[in-house]
Amino acid sequence: MNMFLKALFILYFCIMKIEIINIGDELLIGQVVNTNASWMAEQFNLAGFEVVQITSISDTFSHIFESLDLAKNRADVIVMTGGLGPTNDDVTKEALCKYFDTTLVFNEEVYARVEALFKLRGFKMSEINRKQAELPANCIPLKNIHGTAAGMWFEQDNQIIVSIPGVPFEMKTLVSDEIIPLLLKKFNPGIIINKTVLTQGIGESALAEIIQHWEDSLPSHFKLAYLPQPGMVRLRLTTRGTDRSKLQNEFDVQMAALQKLIPELIFGYNDETIEQIVVKSLLEKQMTISAAESCTGGYVSHLITSISGSSGCFMGSVVAYNNRIKEKMLGVSAETLLKFGAVSKEVVIEMALGVQSSFKTDYAISVSGIAGPDGGTEEKPVGTIWIAIATPDKKIIANKYLFGEHRGRNIRKAALTALNMIRKEI
């Protein structure tokens, strides 16, 4: 093979495209959230393949035919999930027979596996389950160790079409143990390197302005994606190529440049959470924390206690929604409340010091605000949040934020911001 053809060979396999088709009426009426698609897309991407489209369709012949025809124009590999049960409402297998102009044949090996599965679970195998061993004659069966529906691998016109069950734990095993290994044997998809940078304390557009020059100077084989959500913005940097060492060096250079640009905004990477980082830091330093919450209603405490091992650093909290509770439980003075109002710097400072003293913790968080949608004034509109932190040396940090008009987002943003303030201080 000359160098030109070799280069074309590598290029072709570096852009191997996959389309995911999820079958099921339950997806289209909102009864079931399509978590299969996001999980599959991530796994294929990590393996070096590019997912170009994800489609959800009903369990009908016409939709299956139409989706396959369209997908064949976009993708080299089509992976379908769902519609492989033994009941009459699951028609995928029959539709594939018609699509590939073939018939169902009984597969003894699949039948033996289904029979063994029923025996293992202590159930009697019915005639309807025997149908699960009937597969299109031109498919290669894929072993499903967790269920009765075998996966089916078809090859036609230099394309691969795979059909697997939609039950998540069955699907995941088939993708990880069968489909991806077979694709990697057949193709060389190249190398993909990506990392997600987690930022807090700034909005998407403001962040884009700060890093614009860096983003504009990225090499053409790099791609940056902005993934905003309430209280944080994720930046996913991705690159692909064929030389892992060279690619990793390039990636490290670009990542270091980004980290130098926004060191104060980055709190973690990939799947880390602020609450994980805070709990880990407190445990490592053998320090404790407590919380006094008003508008967040205990959400800060919930995030902290969602982390395993948090009992070693989190002593407790007071949800002081009413001013009377702020006075009695946290020692906030009536005069402070009357003069400045519950949503004020002065009140959150007294709340933080009060809970820190009562629970005898190293750190304390306090939050008070107007989550909305009601309760705002011209002076203090909806979304006005005050957050204070008390430190071991009795230093107080108190900041005011204006988050917006949506109650749920305001609560989420306030909690993440409070945790990030603690993280920076620790």
CATH number for the domain harbouring residue 297: 3.90.950.20
Q: Model's pTM, two decimal places?
A: 0.75
* 224 pLDDT higher than 50: yes
Q: Are residues 227 and 284 in the same domain?
A: no
Q: How confident is the model at residue 15 (pLDDT cuts 50, 70, 90)?
A: low
pLDDT digits (tens, 9 = 90+) for 408-424: 999 999 999 999 999 99
Q: How confident is the model at residue 242 (pLDDT cuts 50, 70, 90)?
A: confident
Of all residues in the chain, the percent with pLDDT exceeding 70 is 96
> CATH code at 51?
3.40.980.10
| Stretch among 102-116, 301-315, 331-345 having the lowest mean pLDDT | 102-116
Q: Are residues 208 and 225 in the same domain?
A: yes
Q: Are residues 175 and 235 in the same domain?
A: no
* 62 pLDDT higher than 80: yes
Please list, in sequence order, all residues whose beta carbon lies within 8 angstroms of the beta carbon of residue 49, skipping any fewer than 6 positions away. Answer: 16, 17, 18, 77, 183, 189
Copy the structure tokens of residue 220.
Answer: 């053409």
Can you give the pLDDT at residue 394? Answer: 85
| Stretch among 2-6, 207-211, 397-401 having the lowest mean pLDDT | 2-6
Q: Which domain holds residue 217?
A: 193-269
* 11 pLDDT higher than 70: no
Q: Are residues 168 and 236 in the same domain?
A: no
Give the end of a domain, one of 141, 171, 186: 186
First-to-final CA distance of the chain = 59
pLDDT digits (tens, 9 = 90+) for 380-394: 999 999 999 999 998
Q: Are residues 228 and 343 in the same domain?
A: no
Nearest Cα residue to 334 out of 356, 350, 352, 321: 350
Residues 346 and 336: beta-carbon distance below 8 Å: yes
Can you give the pLDDT at residue 330? Answer: 98
Residues 313 and 303: beta-carbon distance below 8 Å: no
Q: How confident is the model at residue 302 (pLDDT cuts 50, 70, 90)?
A: very high
Give the end of a domain, one of 186, 206, 237: 186
Q: Are residues 18 and 72 in the same domain?
A: yes
Q: Are residues 182 and 197 in the same domain?
A: no
Q: Are residues 43 and 116 in the same domain?
A: yes
Q: Are residues 47 and 167 in the same domain?
A: yes
Q: Are residues 25 and 168 in the same domain?
A: yes
Give the end of a domain, one of 269, 287, 315: 269
pLDDT digits (tens, 9 = 90+) for 349-377: 999 999 999 999 999 999 999 999 999 99
Q: Are residues 327 and 355 in the same domain?
A: yes
Q: Are residues 41 and 181 in the same domain?
A: yes
Number of folded domains in the chain? Answer: 3
